[in-house]
Amino acid sequence: GIEAIPRAAPDRILGLTEQFANDLCKNKVNLTVGVYKDSWGQVTTLPSVALAQRQIDADVELNTDLSYLPITGCPEYSASVLRFLFGESSPGYGPRLLREDRVSFAQTLSGTGALAVASKLLALFLAETVWIPQPSWPNHWNVFRSNGFADIRSYPYFRDGRLVVDEWLDMLRAQVRSTGARRHAIVLHACCHNPTGADPTRDEWRKILDTIHELQMIPVIDMAYQGLESGNPPRDAYVLRMCLDESRYECWPNGLFVCQSFAKNMGLYGERVGSLSVVVPPNESGTRERVDSQLKQIVRSAYSSPPGYGSRVATLVLSKPSLRMQWYKDVAFMVGRLNQVRRDMHELLGWPGLTNFEQQHGMFYYTGLSSKQVDLLRSKYSVYMTSDGRLSLSGVNDQNIEYVCKALKAVTRT
Ligand code: PMP
């Protein structure tokens, strides 16, 4: 009966936000969630997004249309995101894919929704096993488990302050080969790996993609932070570009999945704006249309259709040149501040040996603290970070940086 339902484990990240809200310490600092805050500690709307919102507000027709979107999203959004991902972000071979009509596309409930729809399609038709980096965003496991994967495995990614690419690839070679004809998907963080902030070099990516390709694995590119590495969104799609590179152009025989989000780079977190693109082999036999039809089926049965407002904002930002330029400036500004905080903390902490601080990208700083030290930081100093030792740089500002660094130094002495 219903009384027998066991309590589910609290979300590792969002559970801490609740605890933070109840903390009475006046110096408390929340460095858990990956939401960008300005130097005053405020979550603000990006100027490009605010401009787009004003234009939407002024447009009576757009503004009053609360009807349903199509199942896989509105056509203007699809067109502008496809142009952004496969035109601007991958100018080499992307446009050819579009001309050949080889991308099946759905507007999704942000990056999480893209991963959910992708995992469902993969589990239904394409793969039995999925590989996730260790460590990774904890929700990867939840999403793949909830959408049909019983066999989820982790590959070594980062240990003791550094990437372990050779170990990762050796393990894949040994384990994937030994499972014979079983199909394998693999989740790749496109940039700003969460939680470590450490990404492979271009040379390492080349080796990684060659191995994945050789083992006939299906790449699932999780691009949740496009722009937050270099400050320039198209530039940060380098893994996508490399996957579409000439030598690999037609040879992801079981598809290439791109799960993309405007949560972080447009600050549209709660509006749930993202996309799933499935790149299929050349389309003589109507593969793209059949994949389209399955995406529709999956979305229809899960939530029927995506929400409208946020996608209108994103469409405007992407499609109006003046707004797109403003957006690039906004992203560069965010990244400039995050990098400044990273450098300032580095100086204040004086922890040269702890991790490869300077090589980390994006919103997070992976401190290398143990979960015991993280607990102490929370209980004694009311500084909140996730138990894996990840802190969100954007929660650090002029008002709290000294306090945060003092607390960090104190707990590392324990
Ligand atoms: N993938 C990774 C690695 C993430 O860190 C996040 C956000 N925390 C997401 C996907 C998805 O986020 P959203 O659903 O808000 O776009």
Return the domain boundaries, the chain: 2-45+323-412, 68-319
Among the listed residues 120, 252, 264, 292, the single catalytic one is: 264
Average pLDDT value for residue range 97-125: 97
In short, whether 111's Cβ falls inside 6 Å of ligand 1 is yes
For the CA of 262, the closest atom of ligand 1 is 16
In short, whether 137's Cβ falls inside 6 Å of ligand 1 is yes
- How far does the centroid of ligand 1 lie from the alpha carbon of residue 115, in Å? 9
What confidence score (pLDDT) does residue 212 get?
94
Assigned CATH for 68-319: 3.40.640.10
Q: Where are the beta strands (DSSP E) in 37-119?
A: 103-108
What is the pLDDT of the chain when averaged over all its residues?
A: 92
Among the listed residues 131, 137, 168, 252, the single catalytic one is: 137
Nearest CA to ligand 1 atom 7: 224
**Alpha-carbon distance 94 to 89, whole Å?**
8
> Comparing C-alpha atoms, which of 140, 242, 257 is closest to residue 194?
140
For domain 2-45+323-412, the question of CATH label 3.30.70.260 is answered with no
pLDDT at 404 over 80: yes
278-290 confidence digits (pLDDT tens): 999 986 789 999 9
Q: Are 109 and 274 in contact (CB under 8 A)?
A: yes
> Comparing C-alpha atoms, which of 138, 235, 157, 141 is closest to residue 197?
157
E strand or H helix that includes residue 75? helix 75-82
**Alpha-carbon distance 327 to 315, whole Å?**
12
Torsion angles phi and psi, residue 277, rounded to 5:
-115, 135
E strand or H helix that includes residue 219? strand 218-223
Is there a catalytic annotation at residue 203?
no
What pTM value is reported for the model?
Answer: 0.95
- How far does the centroid of ligand 1 lie from the alpha carbon of residue 52, in Å? 23
pLDDT at 352 over 70: no
Could you give the ipTM of this predicted complex? Answer: 0.99
- How far does the centroid of ligand 1 lie from the alpha carbon of residue 224, in Å? 5
What confidence score (pLDDT) does residue 414 get?
62
pLDDT at 15 over 80: no
Nearest CA to ligand 1 atom 1: 224
For the CA of 33, the closest atom of ligand 1 is 8
- How far does the centroid of ligand 1 lie from the alpha carbon of residue 329, in Å? 22
Is there a catalytic annotation at residue 264?
yes
In short, whether 261's Cβ falls inside 6 Å of ligand 1 is yes
What confidence score (pLDDT) does residue 266 get?
98
Counting DSSP H helices and E strands in the chain, the numbers are 15, 13
3-state DSSP call for residue 171?
A: helix
What confidence score (pLDDT) does residue 29 get?
95
Is there a catalytic annotation at residue 137?
yes
% of residues, the chain, pLDDT over 70 = 96
Ligand 1 pocket mutation, candidates 17, 36, 110, 221, criterion most atoms within 8 A of CB:
110
The tokens for 376 are 């102490």
% of residues, the chain, pLDDT over 90 = 81
> Comparing C-alpha atoms, which of 53, 186, 166, 169 is closest to residue 119?
186
Residue 16: pLDDT band (50, 70, 90) is confident
pLDDT at 353 over 60: no
75-81's contacts with Cβ under 8 Å and 24+ in sequence apart are 76/315, 76/319, 77/107, 77/311, 77/312, 77/314, 77/315, 78/105, 78/107, 78/275, 80/314, 80/315, 80/318, 80/319, 81/105, 81/107, 81/260, 81/275, 81/314, 81/318
248-305 confidence digits (pLDDT tens): 666 798 999 999 999 999 999 999 999 999 999 986 789 999 999 999 999 999 999 9
In short, whether 395's Cβ falls inside 6 Å of ligand 1 is no
